[in-house]
Chains A and B, each alone.
Chain A
Amino acid sequence: MSAPSIVTDRMTRHPSDSHTLERYLETGGYQALAKALEMAPDEVTGEVKAANLRGRGGAGFPCGLKWSFLAPSKPAYVVVNGDESEPGTFKDRQLMERDPHQMLEGTIITSYANGANHAFIYIRGEYPRSARRVQQAVEDAYAAGYLGSDILGSGFDLEVTVHLGAGAYICGEETGLLNSLEGRRGEPRLKPPYYPAAKGLYMQPTIVNNVETLANVPWIIENGGEAFAAIGPDGSRGTRLFSISGHVRRPGNYELVMGLTWRELIYEVAGGIPGDRALKCWIPGGASAPWFVPDDHLDLPVTLDDTAKAGSMLGSGAVVIMDETTCTVRATERLVRFFAHESCGQCTPCREGCSWLERILRRIEEGAGREVDVDMLLDISDNISPGLAWPPRMTTICPLGPSAVSPILAITSYFKDELMAHIHQGGCPFD
Chain B
Amino acid sequence: MVEIRSPSVRRGWSESARARASEIVGQYPEPRSAVMPLLYLAMAEEGYLTDNGMREVASLVGLTPAQVRAVASFYTMYKRDDPGRYLISCCTSISCMLLGSDEVLRAIEDESDVTAGETDPEELISVEHVECIGACGGAPAVTVNYELIEGMTAESARELVRWLRTARPEAIVGAECQELFGGRRSFDWGPFDRDSALGPYPAFGPLGTVSGPAEDQDG
Contacts and interface: CB of A to CB of B under 8 A. Distances in A.
B36 A180 contact: yes
B92 interface: yes
A132 B136 contact: no
Interface residues of A, number: 69
B152 interface: no
B45 to A, nearest CB: 16
18 contacts: A11-B190, A87-B94, A88-B136, A93-B134, A93-B186, A125-B146, A164-B36, A164-B202, A164-B207, A166-B40, A169-B132, A183-B32, A183-B35, A202-B29, A245-B98, A251-B186, A287-B94, A320-B95
B197 A128 contact: yes
Interface of A is mostly: mixed
A322 B78 CA distance: 34
B193 interface: yes
Contacts of B195: 128-129, 132
6 nearest interchain CB pairs? A167-B76, A183-B35, A166-B75, A245-B136, A183-B32, A128-B202
Contacts of B98: 245-247, 320, 322, 326, 331
A225 B131 CA distance: 38
B36 to A, nearest CB: 6
B147 A90 contact: no
Nearest to A251: B137
Contacts of A89: 132, 134, 136
B36 A163 contact: yes
Nearest to B175: A129
A131 B202 contact: yes
A253 B187 contact: yes
Nearest to A93: B134
A98 B210 CA distance: 20
Contact of B36 (A17, A92, A165, A334): A165
Contact of B93 (A87, A164, A183, A252): A87
A335 B206 contact: no
B92 A334 contact: yes
A171 to B, nearest CB: 8
A181 B34 CA distance: 8
A84 B134 CA distance: 7
B190 A15 contact: yes
Contacts of B190: 11, 15-19, 97-98
Given A90-B136, A183-B32, A251-B136, A97 B189 contact: yes
B71 A169 contact: no
Interface in B168-219: 174, 184, 186-191, 193, 195, 197, 202-207, 210
Given A252-B137, A338-B93, A126 B99 contact: no
A320 B33 contact: no
B156 to A, nearest CB: 18
A164 B37 contact: yes
A183 B32 CA distance: 5
B76 A90 contact: no
